[in-house]
Amino acid sequence: MKSSFDIYEMVTNLIIERLEKGVIPWQMPWKVDNGLPQNMIHRKLYRGFNFWLLLTVADKFGSPYFLTFNQVKELGGHILKGEKGFPVVFWKILEKEEKDGSIDQVPFLRYYTVFNLKQTGGIDESKIPSSEAHDHDFDPIEQAEQVIECWTDCPEIRFDQSHAFYSPSGDYIGMPNPRTFFKDEQYYAVLYHECCHATGHINRTGRHEKLPDHRFNSKGYSQEELVAEMGASFLCYLTGIQNATIDNSAAYIKSWIRKFREDKKMLLIASSMAQKAVDYILEHQSGENSWIKTRTGNQLTEAD
């Protein structure tokens, strides 16, 4: 017999092994028709504060594409009358010479203005990238589905969103349509990630109350992302879908662990917190889910 802790430890070591060997860059596993905010010319996603600001704008206008005034002009287009742009902020490093001759680098916040594609006119449609959603016949995976269906205090899940997220203030999960995911397993991996975020709510484990800083890109935010993705990896393994998801999970984890200068000890700390998140989900399963109950009891057969 194996304990569930052994399973957690094994998955953690498997991810560390992938980190040491190097993993491919993280790929967003779904594609919706309005997509995520990006520059239409360079096709690069905005990051940090810019991402969250322009995500709201993209949802409002129904297009993920943004352009500067000059880019619109170069494409033969124009800004529609009365439309106002949105700021994209960035840091510029200025060098200042001190009295002793040393050079001090001073970060200086700058910004430029972008417009959503729907605020423009006159651009040749052949120059506009396709933003059609990916669509496939989603086939629910029974064991993976049961984890969510039988979680007794699972927050509300709202579908057809432009991206996946958990709202702590509203205590609900937003998810893209399952049909927009490239693989069925990837849908569950993303959903599990948001479910693990939800376990941190004050009415569940209260983990979020213990994080000192929730600002995007902060250490506390980064740690929470590690916890959620580790938890999702554990649930993927327990439901037998890890082979289709673990490489992308490792890539996502790598993108956040850089905040800790590749400190794998932080991954082990996150792994411990993620285990508590998963245990919470498994311990709050309805009675009819006997398959999950075997894991709640911390006992797995060798066949598992």
Q: Cβ distance 246 to 233 under 8 Å?
A: yes
Single-letter amino acid code for the residue at 67: L
- At 161 the pLDDT is 87
Does some domain include residue 303? no
pLDDT digits (tens, 9 = 90+) for 123-177: 998 898 877 778 889 999 999 999 999 999 999 999 998 789 999 999 999 999 9
Of 69, 103, 127, the residue at which a domain comes to its end is 127
DSSP class of 181: B
In this structure, is the dihedral angle defined by the CA atoms of residues 286, 287, 290 and 293, taken in order, positive or negative? Answer: positive
Of 70, 95, 127, the residue at which a domain comes to its end is 127
- Containing H/E element for 265? helix 264-283
Q: Is the same domain home to 42 and 162? A: no
Q: Is the same domain home to 251 and 171? A: yes
* C-beta atoms surrounding 260 within 10 Å: 17
Tell me the HSE value of 51 on the side-chain side, using a 13 A CA sphere: 11
Quote the number of domains for the chain: 2
Q: Cβ distance 199 to 280 under 8 Å?
A: yes
Mean pLDDT by 10 residues, the chain (304 residues): 62 85 80 80 84 84 91 95 90 75 73 94 88 86 94 96 90 95 96 97 92 66 90 95 94 79 74 94 81 50 33
- At 108 the pLDDT is 67
In sequence order, the 6+-apart residues with CB closer than 8 A to the CB of 290 are none
- At 134 the pLDDT is 81
Task: Domain of residue 109: give its range.
Answer: 38-127
DSSP class of 160: S
Does some domain include residue 210? yes
- Containing H/E element for 9? helix 4-21
Q: Is the same domain home to 169 and 287? A: yes
Does some domain include residue 153? yes
Backbone angles phi, psi at 70, to 5 degrees: -65, -35
Instruction: Report residue 261 CA to chain centroid gap.
Output: 20
- At 212 the pLDDT is 64
In sequence order, the 6+-apart residues with CB closer than 8 A to the CB of 286 are 150, 152
Does some domain include residue 276? yes
Q: Is the same domain home to 111 and 245? A: no
Q: Cβ distance 232 to 246 under 8 Å?
A: no
Task: List the end-to-end C-alpha distance of the chain, in Å, as a whole number.
Answer: 10
Q: Is the same domain home to 25 and 161? A: yes
Place of tokens 């740690």: 223
Does some domain include residue 66? yes
